[in-house]
Amino acid sequence: MESASRIYIAGHRGLVGSAIVRRLAADGENNLLLPSRESLDLTSQAQVERFFETERPDQVYLAAAKVGGIHANDTYPAEFIRDNLVIQTNVIHAAWKHGVRKLCFLGSSCIYPKLAPQPMTEDALLTGPLEPTNEWYAIAKIAGIKLCQAYRRQYGFDAISLMPTNLYGPGDNFDLQNSHVLPALVRRFDEAKQRGDATVTIWGTGTPRREFLHVDDLADAAVFLMRNYSDEGIVNVGVGEDLSIIDLARLVARVVGYTGEIATDASKPDGTPRKLLDVSRIHAMGWNARVGLEEGVRSTYDWYLAHAADRRAG
């Protein structure tokens, strides 16, 4: 696809959206549409319609979503399904209605069944029950995929859907109650190191296995697919390798410099036993992740430290 003159990144201040902005800016794209949350509420159909009618973007990256870890999904199920359904519907419909040439919808690997064969291929979608702790978010994301497919079939709208694995990187959410596992571990081990704690206890048994993709790799994949892919089939984006949560905790502790003990709490939920994506489809197109996990965790920790210092100064 030729470079568009006007590119709208929905959710540009979030983890994924900000990475896409960085990636496009590095390519010299200088006509990015980045309205503030205060000026454009994506849950308001009227505001979204007005924005698309006025600004007429050529491309849209739909990275806006309500996201969070197991605790957040369990605590706010209504918000996770409602807000995501509304945002997706408003943006996808307005994009088609107002002549957007191409849209990239960012999904999630949680759309796949809890006990899907590993690694999970794209055709595992809707073949079994979801993981109960995040089914509200997963159902919303599945609806977004189907909305893109329906608009392509009925209207010929060029919408593609990417399914990234667990993401991390600069700009992540480090809130201990609502963040995902990797940024939560970064903060917990850093604070434990500062306090001199002898032990850090992590949720669950530590045995579930997860795959982690640096958000800059996802942004690179999104731009690559917008330029090289056009089909209703979803595309997995990941690294094709996983590790146990306890091994992740040890890696984060090593990067942070925490030397105490690491304990597990089996009374807390583990979530899905394993989530590893089959990434053969995107590899066959010529794209591969480039940021190694330890390298990525180090850069994420550096970002966390720098912004923690900013908060203290403020």
| Mean pLDDT for the stretch of residues 23-38 | 95
In this structure, of 10-14, 83-87, 147-151, 178-182, the range with the lowest mean pLDDT score is: 178-182
What's the pLDDT band for 310 if we cut at 50, 70, 90?
A: low
Instruction: State how many domains the chain has.
Output: 1
Instruction: Report yes or no on 259 lying in a domain.
Output: no
CATH number of the domain residue 68 falls in: 3.40.50.720
Is residue 96 annotated as involved in ligand binding?
no
Q: Where are the alpha helices (DSSP H) in the chain?
A: 15-26, 45-55, 70-75, 77-97, 135-155, 181-195, 215-228, 245-256, 280-285, 293-313
State the residue for tokens 């470079």: 3
Q: Is 155 a catalytic residue?
A: no
Is residue 13 annotated as involved in ligand binding?
yes
* pLDDT surpasses 90 at 311: no
Instruction: Report yes or no on 58 lying in a domain.
Output: yes
Chain segment 36-56, per-residue pLDDT in tens = 999 999 999 999 999 999 999
Instruction: Report yes or no on 13 lying in a domain.
Output: yes
pTM, two decimals, is 0.93
Task: Specify the higher pLDDT residue, 273 or 109.
Answer: 109
Instruction: Report yes or no on 269 lying in a domain.
Output: no
* pLDDT surpasses 90 at 309: no
Domain that holds residue 14: 7-172+212-240+275-291
Tell me how many degrees the CA angle 280-282-285 measures, rounded to the nearest 5: 110
Instruction: Report yes or no on 61 lying in a domain.
Output: yes
Chain segment 232-252, per-residue pLDDT in tens = 999 999 999 999 999 999 999
Determine what percent of the chain is predicted with pLDDT higher than 70.
96
Instruction: Report yes or no on 157 lying in a domain.
Output: yes
What's the pLDDT band for 2 if we cut at 50, 70, 90?
A: low
Query: Looking at residue 314, what is its pLDDT?
Result: 41
Residue 88 tokens, joined: 């997706």
Query: Looking at residue 179, what is its pLDDT?
Result: 77
In this structure, of 32-36, 95-99, 231-235, 309-313, the range with the lowest mean pLDDT score is: 309-313
Question: Whole-angstrom Cα distance, residue 308 to residue 256?
Answer: 14
Catalytic residue among 61, 112, 137, 151: 137
Residue 109: name the closest of 157, 145, 163, 160 by CA.
163
Chain segment 53-78, per-residue pLDDT in tens = 999 999 999 999 988 777 778 888 99
Is residue 108 annotated as involved in ligand binding?
yes
Is residue 203 annotated as involved in ligand binding?
yes
Is residue 276 annotated as involved in ligand binding?
no
Is residue 188 annotated as involved in ligand binding?
yes
Instruction: Report yes or no on 198 lying in a domain.
Output: no
Instruction: Report yes or no on 56 lying in a domain.
Output: yes
What's the pLDDT band for 313 if we cut at 50, 70, 90?
A: very low
Is residue 14 annotated as involved in ligand binding?
yes
Query: Looking at residue 65, what is its pLDDT?
Result: 93
Question: Whole-angstrom Cα distance, residue 158 to residue 149?
Answer: 9
Average pLDDT, the chain: 94
Chain segment 176-234, per-residue pLDDT in tens = 777 788 999 999 999 999 999 999 999 899 999 999 999 999 999 999 999 999 999 99
